[in-house]
Amino acid sequence: MGVLIFIVGRFIEKMIIDPIQRQKFVIGEIAEKLVIYSNVFANNLYTSPARDAFIVASDNEDAKRKFF
């Protein structure tokens, strides 16, 4: 009986709790990026193509590192 309870507990942990924790982590990282790049989003008149390309490249590298 104890083994069954352990297996059900691990199943609930892997299928319900872990995805929720990962979602909260990703939301926090998105919020951090929004704060870091808020000046870029707010001041579109003063952005340069080189800086925009750097931001896109750094975000792509972060995405590759986290999800693949």
Structure-block tokens of residue 66: 């986290």
What is the structure's pLDDT at 37?
78
- Residue 39 is assigned to a structural domain of this protein: no
Q: If you average pLDDT over residues 53-63, what whole number do you get?
A: 63
What is the structure's pLDDT at 46?
58
* pLDDT 10s digits, 1-50: 999 999 999 999 999 999 999 999 989 988 888 888 777 667 665 556 66
The type of residue at 1 is M
SS3 of 35, please? helix
- Residue 12 is assigned to a structural domain of this protein: no
- Residue 22 is assigned to a structural domain of this protein: no
Q: Give the integer Cα–Cα distance in Å for 63 and 25.
A: 13
What is the structure's pLDDT at 30?
87
Domains of the chain: total: 1
Structure-block tokens of residue 20: 């929720």
Q: Which domain holds residue 56?
A: 44-68
